[in-house]
Amino acid sequence: MSAIKQVPEPTAGKPGGPDRSDAGLATSGHAAPQAGEPGHVAPEHTDAHALNLPWLMSRARIWIRRGLILALRVSRLVVTGVRQIRPGLRFLRHSLLRRWRRSLEFRTVLMTLVLAITSFAVVGAYLSNQIANNLFQERLAQAESESSYNVKQVQDTFNGAQVTDQSSVITLVYDTLNAVEGRGDVIQRRYVFEAMPEQTKPRNRWVESRASDQLTVRVIPPELRKAVQESGTDQYWASTEFPVGNEDRPGIAVGNKVDFNGTVYELYLIYDLNTAQQTLDEIQNVLWTGGVALVLMIGAIAWYVTRNVVSPVSHAAVVSEKLAAGQLQERMVVKGEDEVARLGASFNHMAASLQEQITQLATLSQMQQRFVSDVSHELRTPLTTVRMAAEVLYDARGDFDPMNKRSAELLYNQVERFQSLLSDLLEISRFDAGAAVLDAEPQDIFQVVGHVIEGASPVAAEYGSEVRLNTRQKSIIVEMDSRRIDRILRNLLLNALEHGDGKPVNVSVAANHDAVAISVRDHGIGMSQAEAARVFDRFWRADPARARTTGGSGLGLSIAAEDTKLHGGWLQAWGRKGSGSNFRLTLPLKQGGTILKSPLQLEPADIELPGAAPERQMLVLGAEPAAPSTAEPSSTAPNSGGPS
């Protein structure tokens, strides 16, 4: 059999192809272009191009510089926009977080939407995957069935062909493959017809390769080609993409072997899945559109239901806040007979009961305050008369017999105690009535502390206790009512001397940038934590059976606590049985200031003051009052303790 070669296609008529007939026009006797004719290049023109080169480079540099300036301006605009957007995003984030924390309705609706979106995304992905898989499997089964039939038809045609010349072979192959392709209004399938490589027998082939339209053998996956080449008569398939016009379409490539005139060929039929892909896209669009609509509907339903449930709770919260603010007439609006309505009715009943009890207590408290105030004022006149008579008897006690002399002394002392109690009751009534006024002015705290220590010197001498002032500052200016601070410190110091069992009492003063602290530390009998918590209650005593020796009224620490509250300060107590007690007064340096930290600690580990000052002031009062002195610090000297 003579070898049949593929006829090469003519190239002279191809667009863009070189016309070989024009080659060598200069040597075929044609004259070269003369000056002035097309194609002639004058030397002056070449020199002009050479002269314009620096100008072009200069223009290029200018345009490059303009481009850099434009890029810099755009980058600045982007940075400015980001800086302006960032605070808005931060505000939006804080607003959402605040809304999430404070709104049950917002939290419920948002969680419902998130769960609904997640559920629809999972279900939609599953349905889309199942639909796509079913469409693909159906199209694959159809492709395999049609491929088997068409390959059999091709092989039968090749086997029954009676052709001997090259032109007839090419015509037969083209007609057979075009029939497989099924051309019409819509191409049903495409083909790639390729001779298997490395065939030694026969070496000459009638047809090398053919393919539909713009297809080449490169659209066939290498794995599919390898499987077809290594197989016998088995059929294989693989997913692929092939170009159609300007787009790539998905498809299924089904591969088989056919032989013609002793040459083995690979025949691949490619089935277009574009229609199935469009169907899948439409189904997915319907799923996503329906999912979005359902999510919005679920969000609206969740918002409506949550609003109906949460609104009464929100209303109850608002009403309770108003009740807590003193608006006792506020009530909830009750509608219907459901659980929320019963909750509202119960809440209103509770509010009415509380209002009645609070009104009764307020009325009783006003009556008690008025009674105490009236009694205190009414007792002042007869008490003054009794006190004058008691002073006369006390001054004349030297002329009395021992029994009457003792009676005169007892009468004088008890009248003094009664007058102190009456003064304390009047002061308490002022606090209860809200009539206490703070007369604050800047003053050195050491003047008040020194005056208190000096006034308590007779009591210190009576108990045999030393009063020691520990400080590292020489002057601390505080905006305060000196009369009230004097009364607070006097109560604290007298209590410390009374319960100190004759041991030293340490008064420590320290200040920081926003507060000043004064602590009064004794080393007497001490008190427990429970007693320290109640030490500022009115008329409270740790041991009710214990007799008072200083004639206190039992209201001193209560008045001290009220005076401290007027200054916006802290008054705290610490104690331990057998180790004494410590009272700490902390005041802001300026009225209206905020105390963040006290300069002295409440529970004293020792009495060393914080800091590393080279010296400190110490005032020691014993049986005989002493003047302030300066002493070097020592490791054994008592101090007030470190900072809290």
**Mean per-residue pLDDT for 370-393?**
77
- Cβ atoms < 10 Å from Cβ of 194: 21
Measure the CA–CA gap between 116 and 298, rounded to whole angstroms: 8
Q: Do both 365 and 448 map to the same domain?
A: no
**Does 487 lie in the same domain as 405?**
no
Counting every residue, how long is the chain? 644
pLDDT tens for each residue of 100-115:
888 888 888 889 999 9
Q: Judge contact between 249 and 242, C-beta under 8 A.
A: yes
**Residue written as token pair 């030293």:** 504
Instruction: Identify the pLDDT of residue 632.
Output: 31
Task: Work out the average pLDDT over 619-642.
Answer: 34
Co-location of 527 and 626 in the same domain? yes
Of the listed ranges 194-208, 336-350, 586-600, the one predicted with least confidence: 194-208
Is the Cβ–Cβ distance between 617 and 471 less than 8 Å?
yes
Asked if the structure places residue 264 within a domain, the reply is: yes
Which residues, at least 6 apart from 379, have a Cβ–Cβ distance to it below 8 Å? 422
Q: Are 446 and 496 within one domain?
A: yes
Summarize pLDDT for 458-474 with one digit per residue, the tens.
888 888 888 999 988 88
Cα separations (Å) of 304 from 155, 297, 301, 308, 318? 71, 11, 5, 6, 21
Half-sphere exposure of 487 (CA within 13 A, CB side): 18
- The average pLDDT across 621-634 equals 35
Among 467, 446, 444, smallest CA distance to 457 is for 467
In a domain, 44, yes or no: yes
Model confidence band, residue 509 (pLDDT cutoffs 50, 70, 90): very high
Strand partners, 510: 517
Q: Residue 631: phi, psi to the nearest 5? A: -130, 150
Which range has the worst mean pLDDT, 280-289, 574-583, 609-618? Answer: 609-618
Are 144 and 56 found together in one domain?
A: yes
**582 in Cβ contact with 574 (< 8 Å):** yes
Pair type for strands 570-576 and 580-588:
antiparallel
pLDDT of 327 higher than 50: yes
Q: What is the pLDDT of residue 326?
A: 80
The stretch 134-156 carries a mean pLDDT of 90
One-letter-per-residue 3-state SS of 24-59: CHHHCCCCCCCCCCCCCCCHHHHHHHHHHHHHHHHH
pLDDT grade for 189, boundaries at 50, 70 and 90? confident
Among the ranges given (230-234, 286-290, 434-438, 446-450), the one the predictor scored with the smallest mean pLDDT: 434-438
Higher pLDDT, 635 or 521: 521
Question: Minimal CA–CA distance to 629: which of 469, 490, 499?
Answer: 469
Q: CATH number, domain at 570? A: 3.30.565.10
Query: What is d(CA 103, CA 383) in angstroms, rounded to the nearest whole number?
Result: 63
Q: Does 374 or 389 have the greater pLDDT score?
A: 389
- Label the pairing between strands 570-576 and 247-260: unpaired
State the pLDDT confidence band at 543, using cuts at 50, 70 and 90: low
Residue 61 has pLDDT above 80, yes or no: yes
Using pLDDT thresholds of 50, 70 and 90, give the confidence band for residue 204. Answer: low
Does residue 334 sit within a domain?
no
Q: Which helix (H) or strand (E) holds 353?
A: helix 339-395
Please tell me whether residues 59 and 151 are part of one structural domain: yes
Which residues touch 219 (CB under 8 Å, ≥6 apart)?
Answer: 192, 240, 241, 242, 243, 253, 270
Share of the chain above pLDDT 90, in %: 14
Region 54-69: mean pLDDT is 84
> What CA–CA distance (Å, rounded) separates 601 from 644?
4
Q: Across residues 171-198, what is the average pLDDT?
A: 78
Last residue of some domain: 378, 398, 429?
A: 429
Backbone angles phi, psi at 17, to 5 degrees: -75, 145
Contacts with 418 (C-beta within 8 Å, 6 or more apart), sequence order: 383
Residue 522 lies in a domain: yes
Tokens of 165: 């010349």
User: 117 pLDDT exceeds 50?
Assistant: yes
Residue 14 CA, distance from chain mean position: 70
Whether 335 is covered by a domain: the verdict is no
Give mean pLDDT, residues 251-268: 88
Tell me, yes or no, whether 418 and 564 share the same domain: no
Helix (H, G, I), strand (E, B) or coil at 81: helix
Inter-CA distances, 169 with 179, 256, 368, 399, Å: 15, 21, 127, 164
Binning pLDDT at 50, 70 and 90, where does residue 5 land? very low
pLDDT above 60 (res 268) = yes
Contacts 24+ apart (CB under 8 A), 551-555: 551/413, 551/416, 551/417, 551/420, 552/420, 552/494, 552/495, 552/498, 553/417, 553/420, 553/421, 553/424, 553/425, 555/421, 555/424, 555/425, 555/427, 555/428
Q: Are 196 and 229 in contact (CB under 8 A)?
A: yes
Least confident of 136-140, 320-324, 334-338, 546-550: 546-550
Eight-state DSSP code of residue 625: B
Residue 29: pLDDT over 50: no
Pairing of strands 505-511, 467-471: parallel
Q: Which residues contact 610 (CB under 8 A, 6 or more apart)?
A: 510, 599, 642, 643
pLDDT tier, 376 (very low <50, low <70, confident <90, very high otherwise) = low
Domain count, the chain: 3
CA torsion angle 456 457 463 466 (round to 10): 110
Examine the domain organization and report whether 514 and 383 are in the same domain.
no
How confident is the model at residue 210, as a pLDDT? 83
Sequence-distant (≥ 6) Cβ neighbours of residue 198 within 8 angstroms: none
- Residue 332 confidence (pLDDT): 83
Say if residue 9's pLDDT is above 90: no
Whether 327 is in a domain gets the answer no
> Taking 70 as the threshold, does the pLDDT of residue 631 lie above it?
no
- Same domain? For 134 and 248 the reply is yes
pLDDT (mean) for 386-413: 84
C-alpha–C-alpha distance, residues 312 and 303, integer Å: 14
Same domain, 274 and 402: no
Domain end: 226, 249, 279, which one? Answer: 279
Residue 638 located in a structural domain: no
Locus of tokens 């090419």: 170
614 upstream amide cis, omega within 30 of 0: no
Q: What is the mean pLDDT of residues 9-20?
A: 37
Domain membership flag for residue 304: no
Task: Say if pTM beats, i.e. exceeds, 0.75.
Answer: no
Contact 376, 422 (CB under 8 A): yes
Residues 6+ apart with CB under 8 A from 582: 519, 520, 521, 522, 573, 574, 575, 602, 603, 604
Using an 8 Å Cβ cutoff, are 558 and 536 in contact? Answer: yes
Tokens of 155: 């092989």
Q: What whole-number distance in Å separates Cα of residue 458 and Cα of residue 442?
A: 29
Tokens of 341: 């309505």
- Between CA 265 and CA 259 the distance in angstroms is 6
What band does 158 get if pLDDT is binned at 50, 70 and 90? confident
What DSSP element (H or E) covers 229? helix 222-230
Region of poorest pLDDT, from 72-81, 160-169, 364-373, 494-503:
364-373
**Residue found by looking up tokens 């509907």 in the block:** 297
Mean pLDDT of the chain: 77
Contact 99, 106 (CB under 8 A): yes
Q: What pLDDT, on a 0 to 100 scale, did the predictor assign at position 202? A: 55
pLDDT at 554 over 70: no
In this prediction, residue 183 carries a pLDDT of 55
* pLDDT the model gives residue 586: 93
Are 424 and 480 in the same domain? no
Task: For residues 279 and 285, give the distance between their C-alpha atoms in angstroms, rounded to a whole number.
Answer: 10
Which pLDDT band holds residue 435 (cuts at 50, 70, 90)?
low
The boundaries of the domain holding residue 602 are 438-631
Mark whether 509 and 390 lie in a shared domain.
Answer: no
pLDDT surpasses 60 at 123:
yes
Q: Which of 279, 297, 328 is the last residue of a domain?
A: 279
